Amino acid sequence: MSEPFYVTTAISYPNGRPHIGHAYEAIAADAIARFQRLMGRDVRFQTGTDEHGLKMAQAARARDITPRQLADEMSGYFKEMADKLDISCDRFIRTSDEDHYAASQAIWKAMEDAGDLYLDRYEGWYSVRDEAFYDEKELIDGEGGTKLSPQGTPVEWTVEESWFFRLSKYQEPLLALYREQPDFIRPESRRNEIASFVSGGLNDLSVSRTSFDWGVPVPGSPGHVMYVWVDALTNYITGLGYPNGGDLWDRFWPANVHIIGKDIVRFHAVYWPAFLMSAKIALPNQVFGHGFLLNKGEKMSKSVGNVVDPIAMADTYGVDQLRYFLLREVSFGQDGSYSHEAIVNRSNSELANSFGNLAQRTLSMIFKNLNGELPAIDRNEDDAALVRTVAAACLDELPRAFEQFAFSIGIEAWMKAVFACNQYVDAQAPWTLRKTDPDRMKVVLGVLFQAIRDLAIAISPIIPTSAGKLLDQMGIAADARDFAALERQGWYDELRASGFVLTQPSGLFPRLELEEA
């Protein structure tokens, strides 16, 4: 049995439509899931929507509909975005799903059984936008004497009866976790931030609300619904069958990695492991906090208003072009910027002009000059050098980087190999060889065919549809498109022997126009 791998994204608040930040996270997690599948692992991948809480209740009230109506409508857009962007999730979870209520109440009871929940009065600062409580000392001054959260969002003084979770009890166990498992929080800068926050001392956490009812009811405590983050974090185990156990649970928990944005690392690296320790559930291996995507340098969010619709972007640029750009341009873990020019330039220069053109030229020459038949090859030293370059990129540099979620580094290694192939085409000039040395032309085209197949397989987690189309044209079987297939000798001769004949190749990446229509 192959090794299991469980990856999740954050679940998004469907209080508005998805924005490009949501798309970015889903695409990154999808690339991880696809890459791990190609590495032969048994992957489970979950994403979804986080539908409870005051923010949802307020957004619904503003539109004069119920929170559930709002959630149903907006969650649909998130699902649509996931489908559009080829997000290969095994479950799209909604926290309004029935099994999620049962799981949230079960983890609540487990924390209660551990003696970690008590009833008291909550008085403190709450940010609806962040769905988070803050200490006085964390607040920053806003305009006109107002107080803002460290994220710059408005906070309100809140007083109500509330259940509390004994977070303070977990200060030492959490610090021990960060020490003993230095990879628990990545990248490192975020680990240091969290460790210093926890070292400063932890207050017990208010984990229920009585001022509204849109949430999971607290078992045995009428009038209380759970603080939205308690149920939200629980989604990761709901999706595996908690508390009933079963095959998914046995196989995939603890998760390998939770992919989330930097603004919610505290919830995942402090609250979540504390809840799990309390409920005596194993901890996930890792929490990875990626950076923020900025529109030409400016933070975008639903509340700020400069939202770009990812579905419209995918229509404009192409799904794979958008996926490629985001993972190539932004160094994963850091903030990154996007702009129309940057997407168009990256896509044209690397996908259309370099990789697309390499594939198109090569396959067309085989189609036209060899009637689509794959030639036998007898390599010389130039050919062998190219084969080594491509193998180093596809079998070593790219997978090593992707294993660490360093997409931009892996793609750069891949791009270097694409450049090497284009240089080889120019240097060998098969169009000249056609007249001067047709046998040599055949060898050159065969070497290129092999290189293109390797390049297409290696990049397929990033641009799955285009890579798939190319591999279809090349006659590569659907079950021979993983890293094990890349290592396997003899595939080319088998493909030749099977009598495969190339048909007229079709282009993969249309050139994008810089001028906006």
Which residues make up the interface to ligand ME8 (CB under 6 A)? 10-13, 21-22, 24-25, 50, 232-233, 235, 260-261, 263-264, 292-293, 300-301
Q: Is the Cα dihedral 192, 197, 200, 201 positive or negative?
A: negative
Long-range CB contact pairs, 391-397, < 8 A, 24+: 391/454, 392/417, 393/417, 393/455, 393/458, 394/454, 394/455, 394/457, 394/458, 394/486, 395/454, 395/458, 395/483, 395/486, 395/487
The residue (of 193 and 263) whose beta carbon lies closer to ligand ME8 is 263
* End-to-end CA, the chain: 52
Work out how close the CB of 506 gets to ligand ME8 at its nearest, in angstroms, rounded to a whole number.
Answer: 34
Alpha-carbon distance of 162 to 118, in angstroms, equals 8
Nearest to ligand ME8 of 31, 508 (CB atom): 31
Region of 156 on the Ramachandran plot (φ > 0 left; ψ -120 to 50 alpha; else beta): beta
What is the per-residue DSSP string for 160-224? EEEEEE-GGGGHHHHHHHHHH-TTSEESHHHHHHHHHHHHT----EE-EESS---SPBPTT-TT-
Where does residue 249 rank: exposed (0-12), middle (13-18), buried (19+ CB within 10 A)? middle
Nearer to ligand ME8, 104 or 347 (CB): 104
CA 389, CA 454: separation in Å to the nearest integer?
11
Length of the chain: 517
The one-letter code for the residue type at 281 is I
Judged by CB, which is closer to ligand ME8: 167, or 413?
167
Give 185 or 260: the residue with its C-beta nearer to ligand ME8. 260
Q: How far apart are CA 15 and CA 56, in angstroms?
A: 5
Nearest CB to ligand ME8, comparing residues 24 and 317: 24
Distances (CA, A) of 31 to 38, 148, 201, 320, 351: 10, 36, 37, 11, 17
Q: Which is nearer to ligand ME8, 288 or 424 (CB)?
A: 288
Question: CB-wise, 260 or 279, nearer to ligand ME8?
Answer: 260
In the bound state, the residue with its beta carbon closest to ligand ME8 is: 261
Report in angstroms how near the CB of residue 291 gets to ligand ME8 at its nearest: 7
Q: Which amino acid is at 380?
A: N
Give the residue from 378, 391, 390, 511 showing the smallest Cα distance to 446. 378
Distance separating alpha carbons of residues 494 and 492, to the nearest angstrom: 5
SS3 328: helix
CB of 121 to ligand ME8, least distance (A): 26
| Token code pair at residue 321 | 């072009």
Please identify, using beta-carbon distances, which residue of 239 and 505 lies nearer to ligand ME8: 239
In the complex, the smallest distance separating the C-beta of residue 49 from ligand ME8, rounded to whole angstroms, is 8
